């Protein structure tokens, strides 16, 4: 099943996707599946982030080639993590597929994409085991973990490097059945492929994160876990660019870059 | 006005506090004030965190004496921040006044309180100025930014140091009218005062944070900003201890420490 969240004049709504039809639901399918009877055309909808998470988790460094590349290209001193320490992003920064990425007026740094697989939590979970960990996941979508590299160097937290309004595109839709270890994630800039990698190369798997995290924290429906990216994150994005994160089983997360 | 959020068999509710009476409201007062007509007794309620924020901001290091103390006592190398870089906590960790603080089974580190003033955002805000910044604040409550110091040293993020379930007590109530620059915040452990400081000694004021933050991020109703603590954060908490964060204009945020 694929589903999406979209904007109506009355507020956000949800729908199950069948071809180009969207059958409206009374809420997100991980709560319950009740059809309202209304149908929309997918290509006419204004998409929203599939969920607005209560807790917004991000794996950060989770692929060796990306760490090597960042150290070589950006002169960073990132280390391969020895344990799965989850990080955070902030929901203010979320925007759906089709929304603009707005570079702040005074930004001077390189604006770089990071195309990622995103797991969406569907039920409350604590104390998961490797055997049942994935049972709490309602589905998968795509995320673009945009970074502003000057702020990443100057600030003592990631608040401006990663969490500026619109710097976390998420979508376009949720696929409830795919193998998170076998996805190819690509990024295109203005139609040209800039990056492509397989999620099979994650340092720590989603199951591993889920088991370790839920020893200490309770997961809640709608929480998201962004799983990190591999490889380079260039070319730097300029106003006017179209950046797309692509996966065959989810679709295309597409956002235009503009200057404030 | 003081108000609170509390647990009913039907779910969370809100109420305006008059003496020991709580006049139930149809929602948080920063949305609208509609009385339902029902009244409860404050001392019989199970309190909840006053809000469940979409974005959970924390100033972190915002008092010089606390930085000096942490460097001296814990051998840390914290620096006085040169700019107001806001950090994050995660809502999974929130618990109301009266709830237990649960130390995880395998925790070995010192569990330390940090009593803080918390500002609650009441309306959407971007591009604030020093003149209008505080207009977006709906009121103030107290927070206990509990830390596990071993995890703080071993982990590459603050996920276990700060965001274990129940490690962010918040409450007991919201006071909508107080001066955030002139509050005395004290912490008591088992009835003995362990810390007391004035918010007048903040490095960066709430206005300063609000102006700087809203150059880059939109604030949303229910977002919270924890403003940091001053002074020492000892004695370390043990199972059985009662830890209380106290302010004359807000009340007493009271939580018992237990072992999982």
Is residue B74 over pLDDT 90?
Answer: no
Residue span of the structural domain in which A118 resides: 49-259
B19/B92 same-domain check: no
Would the CB atoms of A156 and B86 count as touching at under 8 Å? no
Q: Which residues from chain B sit within 8 angstroms of residue A126, using beta carbons?
A: 165
What is the DSSP track for B172-241?
EEEESS--TTS-EEEEEETTEEEEEEEGGG-SS-HHHHHHHHTTT--B-TT-EEE----S---SPP-TT-
Neighbouring-strand partners of residue B41: B21
CATH number at residue B157: 3.90.850.10
How far is A238 from A256, CA to CA, in rounded Å? 10
A26/A54 same-domain check: no
Q: Which residues from chain A sit within 8 angstroms of residue B217, using beta carbons?
A: 90, 92-93, 159, 163-165
- Percentage of chain B modeled with pLDDT above 90: 96
Q: Is A161 helix (H, G, I), strand (E, B) or coil?
A: helix
* Cis-peptide into A229, omega within 30 deg: no
CATH number at residue A23: 2.30.30.370
Would the CB atoms of A55 and B159 count as touching at under 8 Å? no
Q: Which residues from chain A sit within 8 angstroms of residue B155, using beta carbons?
A: 83, 85
How far is B105 from B260, CA to CA, in rounded Å? 5
A104/A43 same-domain check: no
A138/A38 same-domain check: no
Q: How far is B180 from chain A (nearest CA, A)?
A: 23
Q: Which two structure tokens, joined as six digits, stand for B214? A: 């809203």
Output the pLDDT for position B138: 98
What chain B residue is nearest to A104 in terms of C-alpha separation?
B216
A37/A138 same-domain check: no
Other Cβ atoms closer than 10 A to B204: 18
Q: How far is B258 from chain A (nearest CA, A)?
A: 15
A54/A42 same-domain check: no
Instruction: Compare CB distances from A165 to B57, B83, B216 and report the shortest one's residue.
Output: B216
B120/B239 same-domain check: yes
pLDDT tier at B33 (50, 70, 90 boundaries)?
A: confident
pLDDT, tens only, A70-101 = 899 888 888 999 999 999 999 999 999 999 99
How far are the Cα atoms of A69, B33, B158 from residue B118, in angstroms, in the given order? 40, 22, 19
Strands A100-103 and A21-25: unpaired
pLDDT tier at B175 (50, 70, 90 boundaries)?
A: very high
Q: What is the mean pLDDT of residues B61-79?
A: 91
Question: What is the per-residue burial (b if ≥16 Cβ within 10 Å, else e) of B101-127?
Answer: bbbbeebebbbbbbbbbbbbbbeebee
Q: Which two structure tokens, joined as six digits, stand for B42? A: 């404050």
- Percentage of chain B modeled with pLDDT above 70: 100
pLDDT along chain A (260 residues), means of 10: 97 97 97 95 98 97 93 89 97 98 96 98 98 98 97 95 98 98 98 98 98 98 98 96 98 98
Please tell me which residue, B91 or B75, carries the higher pLDDT value: B91
Would the CB atoms of A157 and B60 count as touching at under 8 Å? yes
Is residue B76 over pLDDT 90?
Answer: no
Q: Where are the alpha helices (DSSP H) in chain A?
A: 64-74, 149-154, 159-162, 206-213
Q: Which two structure tokens, joined as six digits, stand for B147? A: 């830390």
Q: Are B258 and B165 in contact (CB under 8 A)?
A: no
Would the CB atoms of A217 and B159 count as touching at under 8 Å? yes
Radius of gyration of chain B from its Cα atoms, rounded to whole angstroms: 18
Neighbouring-strand partners of residue B218: none
How far is A20 from B77, CA to CA, in rounded Å? 57
Would the CB atoms of B88 and A90 count as touching at under 8 Å? yes
Q: Are A18 and A9 in contact (CB under 8 A)?
A: no
B88/B174 same-domain check: yes
Q: Are B50 and B170 in contact (CB under 8 A)?
A: yes
B189/B230 same-domain check: yes
Q: Are A241 and A255 in contact (CB under 8 A)?
A: no
What is the DSSP track for A69-124?
HHHHHH-------SS---EE--GGGEE-TTPEEEE-TT--S-EE--EEEEEEE-S-
Output the pLDDT for position A233: 95
A159/A62 same-domain check: yes
User: CB contacts < 8 Å between A and B, how many?
Assistant: 92
Q: What is the mean pLDDT of residues B240-251?
A: 98
A41/A120 same-domain check: no
* Cis-peptide into B235, omega within 30 deg: yes
How far is B147 from B153, CA to CA, in rounded Å? 11
Number of domains in chain B: 2
Would the CB atoms of A218 and B60 count as touching at under 8 Å? no
A29/A90 same-domain check: no
Output the pLDDT for position A75: 86
Is residue B194 over pLDDT 90?
Answer: yes
Q: Which two structure tokens, joined as six digits, stand for B200? A: 């007048």
Measuring CA to CA, which residue among B53, B117, B115, B58 is closest to residue B84?
B58
B-interface mutation test, from A85, A107, A109, most B Cβ less than 10 A away: A85
Q: Are A161 and A90 in contact (CB under 8 A)?
A: no
pTM above 0.90, yes or no: yes
Q: What is the mean pLDDT of residues B33-60?
A: 97
Q: Which residues from chain B sit within 8 angstroms of residue A160, using beta carbons?
A: 85, 216
Neighbouring-strand partners of residue B243: B189, B255
How far is A48 from A242, CA to CA, in rounded Å? 18
């Amino acid at each position: 099943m694929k589903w999406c969240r979209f904007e109506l004049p009355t507020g956000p709504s949800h729908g199950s996707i069948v071809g180009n039809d969207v059958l409206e639901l009374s809420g997100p399918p991980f709560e319950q599946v009740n059809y309202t009877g209304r149908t929309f055309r997918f290509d006419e909808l204004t998409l929203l982030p599939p969920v607005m998470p209560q807790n917004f988790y991000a794996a950060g460094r989770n692929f060796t080639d990306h760490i090597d590349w960042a150290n070589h290209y950006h002169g960073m001193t990132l280390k391969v993590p020895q344990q799965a320490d989850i990080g955070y992003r902030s929901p203010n920064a979320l925007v759906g597929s089709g929304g603009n990425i707005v570079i702040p007026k005074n930004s001077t740094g390189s604006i770089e994409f990071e195309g990622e697989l995103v797991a969406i939590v569907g039920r409350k979970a604590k104390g998961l085991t490797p055997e049942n960990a994935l049972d709490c996941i309602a589905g998968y979508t795509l995320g673009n973990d945009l970074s502003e590299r000057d702020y990443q160097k100057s600030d003592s937290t990631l608040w401006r490097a990663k969490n500026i309004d619109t710097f976390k595109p998420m979508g376009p839709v949720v696929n409830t059945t795919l193998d998170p270890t076998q996805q190819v994630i690509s990024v295109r800039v203005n139609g040209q492929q800039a990056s492509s990698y397989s999620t099979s190369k994650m340092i720590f798997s989603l199951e591993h994160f889920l088991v370790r995290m839920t020893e200490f924290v309770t997961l809640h429906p709608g929480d998201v876990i962004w799983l990190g990216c591999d490889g380079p994150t260039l070319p730097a994005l300029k106003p006017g660019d179209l950046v797309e994160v692509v996966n065959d089983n989810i679709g295309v997360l597409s956002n235009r870059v503009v200057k404030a």
